[in-house]
Amino acid sequence: MEEFGIDLEEVFRVIDTAEVLVIRFTLIDNRLLLDARDDADKGPILTVVPKATSLEERFRTIKKLRPGLPLPERIMSFQWPRQVGTLRNSGIWERLRERCAAGEADDEMCARAWRELAGAERRLVELAISGGQGFQTIWERA
């Protein structure tokens, strides 16, 4: 199960049990946030959030996203060492969706998060190919 460079059984266990989970990515600064807690207005959320500079900043982000809920006791996190697309191939994306599943609104929420993550990674790759800001081309066509 470590073909993706990570213990998938452990990742699945964390997804299934974490109250709040943040997945960090190697290529992009965006983070995927799963808040599996229910509140009176809505159930669990899966959304893309910016990289936090501190744990306190992450707690503020969660409070802003979920003002009706108390702060979580802890936030679980792991680094995903592959491209965003491999979340689907590994079964992780489906497991995250199952944790949020309750209706069509949740399907759209998950689809929106996926589009945002995949788009951010695609833009970064395009910048790398074209020698955009933060990247340098190794050779250029004459």
Say how many CA atoms lie within 13 Å of 107 toward its Cβ.
2
Q: What is the pLDDT of residue 4?
A: 60
* Backbone φ/ψ region at 27: left (φ over 0), alpha (ψ -120 to 50), beta: alpha
Which residues fall within 8 angstroms of residue 42, CB to CB, at 6 or more apart? none
Q: What is the pLDDT of residue 26?
A: 87
In 31-116, which ranges are E strands?
31-35, 45-49, 76-80
138 vs 59: CA distance, rounded Å:
41
**Cβ atoms of residues 67 and 76 within 8 Å:** no
Q: What is the pLDDT of residue 131?
A: 75
Q: What is the pLDDT of residue 2?
A: 59
Q: Is the pTM of this model over 0.85?
A: yes
Per-residue model confidence as pLDDT tens for the chain (142 residues) = 456 678 899 999 999 999 999 999 988 999 999 999 987 777 899 999 999 999 999 999 999 999 989 999 999 999 998 899 999 999 999 999 998 876 555 888 999 999 999 999 998 888 877 777 777 777 767 6
